[in-house]
Structure formats: C-alpha cells, structure tokens
Structure 1
Amino acid sequence: MTKLTENEITTRLHKLDGWEYNDNAIHTSFEFKDFKDAFSVMRRIAFEAEIQNHHPDWTNIYNTLNISLSTHDAGGVTDKDFLLATTIESIIQGDE
C-alpha cells in the first residue's frame, strides 16, 4: 500500500465532512445521544474494520467517539484509510 502525499490527502478530505489531517493520520469525532448509541456505532464499525482488515485508533468517552486512521505499515495515510473513513461515514449517516 502506497502512502498518499499531503496534497492527495487534502484533496480527498474535501469529500469527507468533519475529517482533518494532522500527525500523519486523518481524524474525526462524533457525538451521540448517549454511551449506548456510541457503542452501537463502534460495534458496527468494528465489524466493517474486520472485513477490510484495517482497524482504527479510537477512543470513546461516554457519548463521544474520536477516530484516527493511518496505515502503520505504510507509515502514513493510504487508500485503505479513505476506504474505511467512507465506510464509517456511511454507518454514521445510516444512523441519522
């Protein structure tokens, strides 16, 4: 998997509302009604991450989910990160 350039990352981020690039990864956060809703979304993301064999770095505090994506083997952001980010967005939008 080839690491994307900063210019490629910036261009692709225009398609992902609320995501930003820093510290060699793309990041976002989501706020839910309560812990149960946050954990439910995390569970669905976990199953998709397993299918894609690409796992997020994430933290959950009550109703907030913070996600960072980077392809560690490539040393930065790759197509795999954008594929998972798009999948995460689809899961979130399906919840609304």
Structure 2
Amino acid sequence: MKLDESTIEKKLLHFPEWEYYDNAIHVELEFDNFKDCFSAMSRIAFECEALNHHPNWSNVYNVLKISLSTHDADGVTQKDFDLAEAIEAIVEAED
C-alpha cells in the first residue's frame, strides 16, 4: 500500500541521509574506493533478492546512488523502508 507524504517524512526521520522526491526515497552513498562500493552493492543485491524488491541504482567509481519505490503501488511503501533499513545495516557493517 502506497504511503502518504506525511508518513514518508515521519519514517525518514530514522534515515537522516535519505530524501523523498520524485515519488521515491533516495540516498547517495560514498565509499573509500570502487572495491568497497562494489562489495556493498553485492551484499545489497542479495538482500534485494531475499526481499524480492529491487532498487533503481547507479554507480560511478566509489559513489552509489539508490532510489526506492514500489512500481505496483506507484509510490513509496513499507517495502521500500524495509529495504532502506537493510541497506543502512549493510553500509554500517562496511564501515
């Protein structure tokens, strides 16, 4: 079920690096180098498969940009926040 904007903004308080715009939640993550970035991407990919929910993402060298939304709901759902939480845990573990 698609979340309304006030619910999304409230949930984002737990994700300070994430922003809501263009009907999705977004984060830009910077790593020390390409290898560390790719390692995080690999771990995130396994989590995406486990949750059966996949990001829109792009990578240039040590920067990973991620956008999450749920196509079926045409907006942001709890699934997106579940994946954001998993991504945060992976990135923190990489540090």
Partner of 1:83: 82
* Counterpart-to-counterpart distance in 2, 1:86 and 1:60: 20
Partner of 1:11: 10
Deviation at 1:42, TM superposition (A): 0.1
Partner of 2:35: 36
TM-score for both structures, normalised by structure 2: 0.99
Aligned residues: 95
For structure 2, which runs of at least 5 residues remain unmatched after alignment? none
Moved over 3 A (4+): none
Deviation at 1:95, TM superposition (A): 1.1
1:45-81 CA deviation, whole Å, 9 max, x = no partner? Answer: 0000000000000000000000000000100000000
Root-mean-square deviation (Å): 0.4
DSSP-derived class of the 1:59 partner: strand
DSSP-derived class of the 1:51 partner: helix
1:50 aligns with 2:49: yes
Structure 1 segment 15-30 matched on structure 2, within 5 A = 15-30=14-29
Partner of 2:67: 68
1:92 aligns with 2:82: no
Question: Quick one: which amino acid aligns to residue 63 of structure 1?
Answer: N
TM-score for both structures, normalised by structure 1: 0.98
